[in-house]
Structures are given as structure tokens and as C-alpha cells.
Structure 1
Amino acid sequence: MASLDHSLLPRLNQTHLTPLLLVIRKVGLKVEGSQFTLEGSPFRIIAGTIDYFRIPRESWRISLRKMQAGGFNTLTTHVPWNLHEPAVGQFHFTGNIDLIAFITMASEAGLWVILCPGPYIGSDVDLGGLPSWLLKDPKMRLRTTYKGFTRAVNRYFDQLISRVAQFQYKRGGPIIAVQVENEYGSYYMDKKYMAYVKTALVSRGITELLMTADDGAHLKKGHLKNVLATIHMKNIKRETYEDLESIQGKSPILMMVYTANSFDTWGALRNIGNPHMLTKDVHEMFNLGFSLNFYMFQGGTNFGFIGGAQSSNGYQPVVTSYDYSALLTESGEYTSEYLEFQHFFHVLFIADVFSFVKPKSIQMTAYKPLKLLYFMTLWEVLPHLVQPSKSVKPLSMEQLPVNYGNGQSFGYTLYETTVFNEGFLRSRGHIQDRGQVFLDEKYIGVLDHSNDELFILRNRSKKSEVLRILVENQGRLSSGQDINKEKKGLTGDIYLEESPLRKFTIYSLDMGNMLIQRNLPKSWKVVTSYVLGPTFFLSYLKAGDPPQGTFIKVKGWQKGVIFINGQVLGRYWNIGPQETLYVPGSWLHSGVNEIMMFEELRGSLQIHFTEDAQLGMAFPRDISASGTIL
């Protein structure tokens, strides 16, 4: 078994904190025969993934300390382009997406960093982390050398790489490796694309070890010459290791994605791994000399609307929790697996090297139920929103003239048109993803991926009625070649019988901070009985000093979105499996806090809390079936 050179743990010294005053190092992470070396000495990567955008910034430091205290020496993190450039040329690297602060905290915690800058990251996020405004181009071919795509990537990389390059190892920083794209072998729409991404990184100053990452079935298609190929656990067979050797000789093996779980999707049982098989496989990988990366070390939360979807068995959107049965829970609490691996690494390596002083547990609380609720229907709110768009034909979310001309990325879109007749309303697959249909304010039914037809029975005492379709983007596909088609809202004509509907008024309901914090009328009414949606509900939670985190129990509510002090917590849906939404203590104020819920169907009479996550009935998955170690 290859041993770790303990002298090569990142130091908590001034060189990591002030890059302009760094001592230049000579040799970074390299491949020497069948092992990694760092500064010329043997080095084994023991990594875990934490995506900073899924963890509250106030929790970053303690999560990273827990990683290092668990015996890990390296952090892996993905960079979501869609959050950093939400509109063309408008870049954000502050607050909860302050990548540089996260990298600096990792260094201060004694961790090296493997950076996954994309431009595509997968990671089960909306469009794999690509910004939806790319889809405004009708000729767009994502993840190819199509000029419209590379032009956008070049502009983004100019901003991103100029920020991270100075934090590379040879400049005194913690970044020891950079991943080139992600799992391109399973996409492979352009054989020149990966070489383009490599050049885009290197030409902007990336000098550390480059890696590709693919599952076993697509390893050969995804690799690049003179770039280390790493593997994801999916589709691993004995031939996979033979493919690795044919590509790059007797190189070290890095299991870049080793997971105990898979993500959960709405309407399905919860996935959990077999912890005994996880332990067995990890022990075996160490006996074989592998390096590895736990995906996820802490999964966190798909805050807002960042969760994507998969289409392997029909359209399946990802739930709000990204707990992932990781070594730390969604809220950052220890798991039994964390303690087991901490002990394993403690025995395997010299105990004095790792600071096995375990940071304190996270204290959660169950606040008293909120019994005083106020409500206002969506129809009452509409006049107070920004001016809607007018269009003869339906416009998809991406085509709307909002967000500085970049279209709408997330949330809901309301389409209104006048109808004079009755009959079958047919979507012909043009509703993406779920549309509630109303005549005036009367609920008619739902059109979605599985139902594309509704009968509209008009009130014949009226000459005409307003047909309203409230369409929710439930998450764009995060992988596969179909991501090029992932427009949302009404993506084409809607027909009443055989006639396409025309003359639409379109409201962009992105449910972002600007909408929620808009000065709404003072006409909130007290909830005294069940209220039908779509409706906004408002209540106030009093928290102590300091506020403690909690979980909102959504039992009794149907489907919608929760906001805490104007921030989008995430989606809930009574089809499960997720039954609670995590509320970070750092999102609460000492004193009075505003809780708002947008309920699509029917509201409840109270809001309940619990100190424990309830993520639904579990479907145990025997991860040994993946054939990871043969």
C-alpha cells in the first residue's frame, strides 16, 4: 500500500493567505509511475466533495474543519457557471458563491484543493451548471466548439481563471489539480472540444496537474493525451482498469467519484447506500493503493431552484435536499460513517498528523408551531409585479425579455390568453415542466410530461374567459445530449381543439429576492380555514440569540416553495420522499423572522418544525452491485 508523506499536508501559514507574498514551490502534484508525488515525495489523495453553493457560507469553515479532522487531506469542489454569470457579462463572486473565500478557508483548515471549473460540472444541478441564457441562441450546441458556446466560455474563463490561478500550488496556494470538464465521454458531441477546454485553461495560467473524469463505459472517449484520466464508480469493470493502463500506462488510480448513494427525485423512494459495502470497498481500494474522492463528503441543499433533473426513466426532478447519505448530513452533523472512516484514517496514518479534534456537533431545534398565518392569492399579487410581456405566440422562459434581456432562468411563468370556445386543450409536449390550468381563477387541472390533454368546459354565461397556465420549471436536465433542448415554460404552441392559441400576456415569476421583497399591498388576510392556491402565505418566527437551525415540516402542505427572510429555501412537494426542508441557523435573525410560502394547491393552517431531518422512506441500494472493485 502506498503511504502518505505526512510532511506534505498544507501548512496554515501566511503563504496561503497572501498570494502576492508567496514563496514559489518547485514541484506540484505529479504522476510518478504508479503513485502520486507532491514536491517529489509519495502522496495519496484522500479527498471529499463539498460544493460551496450548497452550504451556507457561515458553515463553510466548520464543514472544512470536520473534513480535515476526519483524516482527509484534499477538498474537491465544483464551480457553477450559471450562478457566477446569471446574465451575460454580469459576474458574481461574493456572498454564498465567494469561491476565493471558500478556497482560502480550505487552505486555513489544512486541505489541498482539486478544482472542477467546468464549464460543465454536472453535479445534478440545473443544466449541469451551464447558464440557461445560452439557450437563447437557436443554433446553440452546448459542450462543443460551436463559436456561440466557446465565445461565452472564453468570457467566463477570463473572469474565473484570473481569480483562481494565483491560488495554485506552485504559487503557494492550495490548488494541486484542476479537472477538465466532467464526464465528457458520455456526451462526446465534438471530438475537438476537450482539447479546446484544456487550452482554455492552460492559456489562462493553469499549470497544475490536469485531470479528466469519466465512468468506466466512457473512459476512452473522455480522456485527453497527457492528461490524467480518473474514473467515476459507475460502470466499473475489470476492463476499465485495462483501459486505464492502455491510455496512460502504470499510473496511479484515482477514484474521482466514490459514492455511498445517489440523489433523490420527487415521487420516488429515497436512495441510500449500504454502509457496510462502502467500508469494505474503501478498505479494498486502500489495499490496492488507490486514491479516492468521496462524493459527497457533505451534500448540503439545493437552495433556491438549482436542482436539476434526470431522464433515464422519464423526467425526474431532483429534490431540494442533497443529503446524498454523505459523511456529514445536510445540516453538517456527523454520521456513523464519518466516525468509522475517521477511525480508519486515524489507525492508517500517524495520529499526530491529522488534528483529530472533532468540532462540536450542530445544535438544531424544533420551534413552536406557527398558528397565525396570513395569505394573499397570486391573482391579488399580479397587479403589483413588474409589467408583463406581450406576445402573439407563447415564449419560453429563456426567450422572455427579462433579466437584462437574458431570459428567465428559474421559477414559474404565468401565461394568460382569452378563450371564447371550449374543448380539449392540447399541449403537444410544449409544457415544460408542469402547468396548472385555470379559467379565470377556477382550477381546471395539470398538463405535464405525462398528461398533454385537458377538457376545457367554459362558463357559457360569459362571452369569454381568461385561460391561465402557471408553468413551473422543475429543473433542467443535468446530463445527456438532450440538455440542448432544455427550454422551459411554454416552448411551442398550445392548442384549443386544433387551433393554436394567440395573444399572450406573460408574467415572469422567478421567485427570486426581487419578487419576494417587492412592496406588496397591505391586504394580507388572516388564515381561518383552508385556502386554495396558488397563494402566498406569510408568518413570523421568533428565534433566540444566537438563532438555531431547524427543519420545516411540510406535512399538511401540498406543493410549493419556502422563503426565509426573503431568501429562497427551496421546493417542497407532498409526493415525497422529502418531508422536511432545512433552515440554516445563519439564515435566521435573533428576534422576528419572516417565513413565506408559495403554495400551488392548498395551504395548511399551521407551520410545524422539527430538529431532525425527515427525508422519506428509504430504498437501500447495494453499492457492491456497481462492481467498483474487481
Structure 2
Amino acid sequence: VLLTHLLLSPRFNWSELTPLGLWGRTLGLQTENSQFLLEGMPFRIFGGSMHYFRVPREYWEDRMLKMKACGLNTLTTYVPWNLHEKERGKFDFSKNLDLRAFLSLAAKNGLWVILRPGPYICSEWDLGGLPSWLLQDPEMQLRTTYKGFTEAVDSYFDRLMRVVVPFQYKKGGPIIAVQVENEYGSYAKDPNYMTYVKMALLSRGIVELLMTSDNKNGLSFGLVEGGEYQPKMVMEYWTGWFDNWGGPHYVFDADEMVNTVASILKTGASINLYMFHGGTNFGFMNGALEADEYKSDVTSYGQPLPLPPMIESKASYGAILLHQYISLWDVLPTLLQPIKSELPVNMENLPLNDSMGQPYGYVLYETVIFGGGQLHTQDHVRDRAQVFVNTMYVGELDYNTMELSIPEGQGFRQLRILVENRGRVNYGLTLNEQRKGLIGDVFLNKTPLRNFKIYSLEMKPAFMKRLRVSGWSTVPDYFVGPAFFRGRLWIEHQPQDTFLKLQGWEKGVVFVNGQNLGRYWKIGPQETLYLPGPWLRRGGNEIVIFEERTAGRIIQSVDIPYLGRTQYVD
């Protein structure tokens, strides 16, 4: 009775309605002039972005409760195709990718949902969320009506919409709107593409309000025929900015941000804070930009708004000694089966045993040379390579350095090129060019190298498990990578979140109990890696570090993150 009275009261603010407090749903979210309507009544969206795939599942509800405490009524999230379908035709909606559980929690905690399912999401995420196996097709045209792309999208949407459709508003769920693709006006390579995506959603049961988001210049190109401009809404009000390796840590001035948000709200507009909670690019999932030069994103993502009281406590577990190591060269003959190929093969097209193609990580190319001379890549390294003669380090190659001198030597020697995929570009017009590894010939004295042994180093959980029982040795007084280093973090009580500081280490990846925390690099700005408490356990916790070059002896577990020297964004 009380709820009915509130609904009928002209003073009732429909923006305070929650998914569990409304029934008789027929109209859904609509638009009228400059405002949104929910069941015909004025409704304002006070949104915040949080991506389930960037946050440990154990913390989803905590972040949602903080949203509610900040006065928000709507959660927005992307859906990452490249995680849900890592291999073509094999779908994963379990554990941290359990979208059903995420949407159910949003409803339980009184949050509406704007879903942004892509297929492209940008999101400073590898290839904008598109799976790298699409690039196995040499003719692939991403984000167009090219048959090879639409067939893959159709298959993915067939599976995804089975999860999404029951959670729509008109079916009793929290989803009040669905975005059609993402910022397509800034890409706009195919005038038929947005209509295709719209129909792909409608034909699979999407019945809620469709919307799109773009910058001012791109919006007119991203509209679907028959569409219209939406009410006043800032779909992505950036509360922070993403960082690139080697750059500063970007921060927005809090007072200026509060004033801007206040002025937006005074106009009666709706708003979505991007991000409310940034989270982490765990593993190798960071994206990159390629304008004047290639720049890959760091492991942390965004700077969250100040949170209300009752923030989870963090722990400092002190120094952790990495007392064991095993060289990459010792791992090769025992744990990795090489692929033999006359020509270099890019990462995505490696004929691996368990799947076709390698999406992330490193690839090692080995061949035999006689003598030395000038090694030239012809800009075929994607994105960064270390070069070795046998086990002797020679130098690095990347977008700027394409030539190295190979020292002379007697007899036949192994030339080894260890190539790192630093992250695929997630925005711009070069999406079709994001194949990684060696994407073409490399030349020694103007002669193309041939007859390669190629080792895949994606460092999947199965590989890390086999590595655990390999022949580890005590770390010697002098050591250098590439190598794996191992130590143990002992925890007496209930584990808490912590941050790992890798001072004295150069560049690599950290694994804790088999979980890939992401990349570190001494050039910064980020100097600590986030380690969620749920990924730890009482007692011993195994820490494995893959270090490319210079290794330290210890890492520090600290209770305060350090994301780098600050530069305020205007």
C-alpha cells in the first residue's frame, strides 16, 4: 500500500525506484523531448561504470553498495567478447565472467543496468574486446558487415543474448537500456554496420531502449537510420584517465570535477560516471593507443572516486624473498613444444595443439645463423623484441629501433628473438592491423631468416602448473633474465588486499597462486600491482615472476598503492 501511494504521489521521485520495487512493467525506459521516462514518469539516470571483468567477483557487491551510498541508481558495464569466447565456439560465463550473477546482484542491490555488449567495447581493453582469433583471417575487416566478422558476431550474440534477455526490465530484470555497439561514429567504415548490429540485438529478443554513445563529431555518423538524439545525458563523464607505460599518472582535480558534475545535474541532465570504480587489467588484457606512436596501457585502470567510509582494510605483509629461479632457456626443452616453420608466423596464426592461435603473452622465434652482421626487422616486430645469440643478450627491437648489430662468431649459432605482445590497440582506425609477434620477414644482411622453431609463451594456468614442478635452483649471486623467479608469501590470518612493489625489477609479469596479476615495468608510472585478498589463502602463497632482464631479490607487500607521479588533467 505504501509503495502504491508513493508511485501515485506527484512528489515521488521515480529516480529512486529500484529493480525490486517496481512491478506492472510495460513501457520501460522511454524518451520524451529532453528527458527520460520510466513507465511514463520522469526519470533521471545517475549512473556509474564498473566492469565485472576488472573486479574480483568477491568484491562485486561491495562496489555496488558503494554506488548506492553515493546516490547512484544505475550501473553501466561493458561485456568483453574476448573473455567470454577466448577460443572460437567455446564460451565461458563462469566464475568472474558470470554475467547472470553480476546482473542479479545489481538488481538485489537496487541498481538499474545499462548494458554495453559491443561487440566492440573499446574500454582500453585489448583489441577493444574483440577476440584476437578474428585476425586469423587475412582479409578480416573488423566492425563492418564483412561476412567473416558478422558470422562470428552472430554466433557470439546467439550465446550472449541467452544470458541477457531474461534480465531485461520488461521481463522483471534490471536492464533498462542496451547500447548498440560503441562509438561507431568515430570509426564509420561501413554505413550498413550499425543497422546490422541493431537488428542482431532485436532479432535475439532485446526489447529495451537502444542507445549509442560517441563524441560530438562522431555522433551523427553513429546513428542508426530511424534513430534520434537522446535526452540530455553525459554517457561517459570521466572521473579519471588511463595511463600509458612511460608516462605520468593522470588525475583529475577533485574540486573541479565536483563543480562540473554539479553544473550538469543543475541542467536536469542524466549522467554516468566513467569510471565509478576502475579496477584492474589483470593478465595481458590492457589495450593500447596508436596515434603518433604506439603506447600501451598500464595494469591499473582509471582512478576511482573517493569512496564513503567502511573501505576494506589493506595489509602490508612486508618483504618477500624470491629464492628460486629457472632460466627460460632451461624451460624450453622440458615444458614447451616448438612449432617448426620455414617462415615467421604471427601469434594469432600459430598452429597450437589445444587451439588455433595464441592471443596474448610472448612468442620466441629461434633460427640458426652463421656469422654476424646487421639484423633488420622492416618494422615487422609487434610490439617489442629482445634479441639473443645463444643465451647472450644483444639488444632490443621495437617500433623505433628496427636494426641491431649481431656480433661475429664461429660456427652455427642460435639467433633467438623473444617478442612481447604489449597489448592491441583498442581505439582508432588500425584495428585490422593488430596481429602480434613477427608479422613478416626479418633480415640478416638483407637476407630473410628462414627455418624457425617457434615457442608459444602465453603462460596459461596449465603451463604455470607444469612450471611448478620443474627443476628450480637457488638464485645465484649474479643472474639475469629472461627467467622465472619463485618465492612464498606466508599469511597467518585472514588474507586482505595488498599491493606488490617491484623495486629493483625491470619488466615482466607476476603470478600469485597461478593468477596473473598483470605487467610491471620500471619506466612507470605504475609501481605497485594490486593483489586481491580473495586470491590469497592462509598459510603459503606461491609467487612466480617472469622477469625479462634485471631481477631483484625481493618484492615488497605494501598497504598503499603507488600509481606514479601525478599530472592533473585539464
CA shift at 1:521, angstroms?
4.8
The match for 2:388 is: 438
Letter in 2 for 1:115: L
Change beyond 3 A, Cα 1:4–1:196:
farther
Q: What residue in structure 1 maps to residue 198 of structure 2?
A: 198
Mapped partners of 1:34, 1:567: distance in 2: 47
Q: Distance in 2 between matches of 1:11 and 1:429?
A: 53
Partner of residue 465, structure 1: 413
Counterpart amino acid of residue 266 in structure 2? N
Contact 1:552 1:607 in 2 (8 A): yes
Q: Does 2:77 correspond to 1:77? A: yes
Q: C-alpha distance in 1, partners of 2:55/2:352?
A: 29
How many residues are treated as equivalent by the alignment? Answer: 561
The worse-fitting range, judged by mean Cα deviation, of 271-280 and 78-87 is 271-280
The offset of 1:325, in angstroms, is: 1.9
1:260, distance to aligned residue in structure 2 (A)? 2.4
> Using a 3 Å threshold, how does the CA distance of structure 1 residues 30 and 83 change in structure 2: closer, same or farther?
same
Deviations 1:116-169 (A, max 9, x none): 000000000000000000000011000000000000000000000111101000
1:534 aligns with 2:482: yes
The alignment partner of 2:366 has SS state of: strand
Q: Alpha-carbon deviation of 1:261?
A: 2.4
Going from structure 1 to structure 2, the CA distance change for 1:542 and 1:252 (only over 3 Å counts) comes to: same
Structure 1 residue 54 corresponds to structure 2 residue 54: yes
Which residue among 257, 264, 279 is the counterpart of 1:285?
A: 264
For the Cα contact (< 8 Å) 1:558–1:599, is it kept in 2? yes
CA distance 1:206–1:150, change in 2 (3 Å):
same
TM-score normalised to structure 1 length: 0.87
In structure 2, which of residues 374, 379, 400 is the aligned counterpart of residue 429 of structure 1? 379
| SS of residue in 2 equivalent to 1:361 | coil
1:80/1:87 CA distance change after superposition, 3 Å:
same
* 1:507 equivalent among 455, 468, 481: 455
How far the C-alpha of 1:488 sits from its partner, in A, is 0.1
| Displacement of 1:69 | 1.4
Indicate if the aligned counterparts of 1:493 and 1:500 stay in contact, CA closer than 8 A.
yes
Judged with a 3 Å threshold, the aligned counterparts in structure 2 of structure 1 residues 4 and 210 are, in CA distance, closer, same or farther, namely farther
| Matched residue SS, 1:214 | coil
Name the structure 1 match of 2:334: 384
Structure 1 residue aligned with 2:17: 9
Q: What is aligned with 1:418?
A: 368
Q: Which runs of 4+ in 1 moved over 6 A?
A: none
**Residue 220 of structure 2 corresponds to residue 220 of structure 1:** yes
2:169 is the counterpart of 1:169:
yes
1:330-341 paired onto structure 2 within 5 Å: 335=306, 338=307
Cα separation, 1, equivalents of 2:408 and 2:460? 34
Corresponding position: 1:568 with 2:546: no
Distance (Å, rounded) in 1 between the aligned partners of 2:500 and 2:11: 46
Report the counterpart of residue 26 of structure 1 in structure 2. Answer: 26
In terms of mean alpha carbon deviation, does 217-226 or 434-443 score higher? 217-226
Q: AA paired with 2:390?
A: D
Give the Cα separation in 1 of the matches to 2:56 and 2:531: 10
* Percent identical: 50
Normalising by structure 2, report the TM-score.
Answer: 0.96
Rounded to whole Å, the distance in 2 between the matches of 1:71 and 1:35 is 19
1-structure distance, mates of 2:460, 2:18: 39
Partners of 2:376 and 2:442 within 8 A in 1: yes
- Unaligned 5+ runs, structure 2: 1-9
Whole-Å Cα distance in 1 between the matches of residues 435 and 316 of structure 2? 40
| 2:304 corresponds to which of 320, 323, 326 | 326
CA 1:481–1:596 in structure 2 vs 1: closer, same or farther (change >3 Å)? same
Structure 1 counterpart of 2:131 = 131
Q: Match for residue 548 of structure 1? A: 496
Contact kept? 1:417, 1:504, Cα under 8 Å: yes
In structure 1, the residue matched to 2:400 is 450
Cα distance in 2 between the residues matched to 1:268 and 1:4: 48
The 1-side partners of 2:442 and 2:468 are apart by 32
Residue 481 of structure 1: CA displacement?
1.5
Are positions 1:399 and 2:407 aligned together? no
Q: Does 1:36 find its partner at 2:36?
A: yes
What is the Cα deviation at residue 518 of structure 1?
A: 1.4
Question: 1:562, 1:595 within 8 Å by CA — same for their partners in 2?
Answer: yes
Q: Give the counterpart letter for 1:273 in structure 2.
A: F
Deviation string, structure 1 residues 557-601 (Cα, Å, up to 9, x no partner):
000000010111100000000000000001001111000000000
How big is each residue's C-alpha offset from its partner over 1:314-345, in whole Å with a ceiling of 9 and x where there is no partner? 100000011x1221xxxxxxx2xx45xxxxxx
State the SS of the aligned residue for 2:455.
strand
Q: Contact 2:15–2:44 at 8 Å: present in 1 too? A: no
1:154 aligns with 2:102: no
The Cα shift of 1:509 comes to 0.2
Q: Is the 8 Å Cα contact of residues 437 and 468 (structure 1) preserved in structure 2? A: yes
Could you say if the C-alpha distance between residues 7 and 306 of structure 1 is closer, same or farther in structure 2, counting changes exceeding 3 Å? closer
Q: Which moved more, 1:34-43 or 1:69-78?
A: 34-43
Contact 1:3-1:43 at 8 Å conserved across structures: no
* Corresponding position of 2:438: 490
Deviations 1:10-53, CA, capped at 9 Å, x for gaps:
2447x9xxxxxxx6621111102221111111110000000110
Given that 1:35 and 1:252 are in contact with CA atoms closer than 8 Å, whether structure 2 keeps it comes out as: yes
Q: Which whole-Å CA distance do the structure 2 matches of 1:403 and 1:125 have between them?
A: 27
SS at 1:607's partner residue? Answer: strand
User: Of 465, 471, 475, which aligns to 2:423?
Assistant: 475
Matches for 1:579-590 after TM superposition, within 5 Å = 579-590=527-538
> For structure 1, which runs of at least 5 residues remain unmatched after alignment?
16-22, 228-246, 328-334, 340-357, 623-630
